Chains A and B, each alone.
Chain A
Amino acid sequence: MGVETIRKPADTRVAVKPAFDLALRMGDNALILAQRNAAWCGHAPALEEDIALANVALDLIGQAKLWLGYAGELEGEGRSADDLAFLRDGREFRNVLLVETPNGDFGQTTMRQWLYDSWHHFMLEGLKASSDERIVEIAEKSAKEVAYHLERSTDLVIRLGDGTDESHKRMQDALDYLWPFARELDVADDADRAIAAAGIGPDLASVAEKALAYRSEALSQATLTAPTDAVPRKGGKAGVHSEAFGFMLAEMQVLQRTHPGVKW
């Protein structure tokens, strides 16, 4: 990726490489989660849920455009948000594995959304204090949307966890499966540490602490139990994705790859 050679920032307060990494990670998370959620459109268990999940996906597409657009600017090689979304190979994506996990049943999709929302919300709170003004702007806009995402997914997790025996079991199974993936969000790598050191983003440990406290409260209401000894399942931040991810990208990028260089 072009930013390995760091451009001289126009504004010296902005650290380009960490800002680029942050924007790319946030953008890829939003894009890939939106892509997964959008596949439910027309197939959700109730009309109201169909509409609500489409809303979440729409917000995330909008956020992906902002983050990836900014990442492209920082990179300075003329790549647009669309170029980054549709013309990168899997190894170049920096989203966490959680957001690319297959949809499974609607419970798994809901749990995935909730685990992400409950991190996303506190991450954006942290990003509102970024030293980069553009990141502050995007975070403020996104935070308003994500407050709703979190309210919705928390409500569903509680109701389904404390619903029937079957809905409880499905939600517990989803939690057991997805919790290790959610931990990738908490484990800082070199780029995360550089982001925090440059004042571009918050320390991930502090975000994780708030997310965990929030989740514990909701899970107790949902009568669900988080695994205590889960080893993080990670790799996405370093571009090492799941096998399922390649199929998803092939589908998402098919038109841009088949007809290169045309307008749509």
Chain B
Amino acid sequence: MYAQKVESTGARPKSLDEMDPQERAFQERIDANIKIEPKEWMPEGYRKTLIRQISQHAHSEIVGQLPEGNWITRAPTLDRKAILLAKVQDEAGHGLYLYCAAETLGVTRDQLTEQLLSGKAKYSSIFNYPTLTWADIGAIGWLVDGAAIMNQVPLQRCSYGPYSRAMIRVCKEESFHQRQGYDIMMVLSKGSEEQRAMAQDALNRWWWPSLMMFGPSDAESVHSAQSMAWGIKQDSNDDLRQKFVDQTVPQAEYLGLKVPDDDIVWNEAKNDGKGGYDFGEVNWDEFFDVLAGNGPCNAERLGARVKAWEDGAWFRDGLMAHADKQAARKIAA
């Protein structure tokens, strides 16, 4: 998840006839579902697009630690505290192996970190919203991780081997994250009046930003077509969003909560006659505004990452210096 607006070459995909022999061979491997591995030849556009997508994903995991981390010290029971801490720790782990996957494409983690901290690289818009109550922790697990899984399950079949393998691991952990979130919502929605109100309020605030996570409509994107041809992207943003709505609306009903969209109506004709929910229009102005840096927490999120990096410089330098001393002692001995 978390790569919402990855720019690729900007051109429409070439047909096989338009490709030179090397590129055609590459495309035929992708079409035959053979994974591309780090040392193999790949078009520069493929490499660059993957770096952008994987690093956006990694950055999102790292920044994504912050909104939930905000409640670790206030979690209401020892079990909830341990579960939340383990979950936020998983996100750091996801960031770590996604950075490793990106490094196989010829960039370093430090370069990518620099891009994040300078504001050059993007991360998912969702993490620029504040976590105001404990119910937000439930809503994030349920909705945000739910949307993430929707996006990431197909990425397990991504054409690039290291990314695909990283996603297999990430998906296993994300499904636990979603369950713990839904479990929090269950307890709250069956709890006191204040707890139920807290749960409804969290759903109200996180619903639309969750739908934005899938990115703008594909109709507006030439990038999606190329990424799909390369096997980097498997499903369209709109298809995934529809799938998410169809899955989540009944879950909200089960909780006795109301999805904050009056346009939600069951439509028999949707999904090739299998039925699905119609829903209202996402406020894309808000999405682009948040992506441009004007969300409620953009400055705080990036500020926290910059502070952690700068405050930790002496620590990293100290460890490096010790390693150098040890190496010198070994040579001298």
Contacts and interface: CB of A to CB of B under 8 A. Distances in A.
Given A54-B88, A259-B194, A45 B73 contact: no
Nearest to A31: B78
Interface stretch (A91-99, A120-128, A250-258): A250-258
Interface in A74-111: 81-82, 85-86, 105-107
B287 interface: no
A43 interface: yes
A138 B99 CA distance: 38
6 contacts: A44-B308, A47-B92, A51-B93, A160-B315, A167-B318, A264-B80
Contacts of A159: 318-319, 322-323
B117 to A, nearest CB: 13
Contacts of A43: 69, 304, 307-308
Interface string B32-60: 00000000000000000000000000000
B92 A50 contact: yes
Most chain B beta-carbon contacts within 10 A, residue among A39, A41, A57, A107: A41
Contacts of A49: 315
A62 B78 CA distance: 8
A58 B85 contact: yes
A106 B89 CA distance: 18
Interface residues of A, number: 50
B330 interface: no
Interface in B83-121: 85-86, 88-89, 92-93, 95-96, 99
B78 A41 contact: no
Given A43-B304, A62-B82, A167 B315 contact: yes
A65 B318 CA distance: 36
A31 B312 CA distance: 26
Contacts of A255: 74-76, 134
Given A65-B78, A163-B317, A255-B74, A51 B191 contact: no
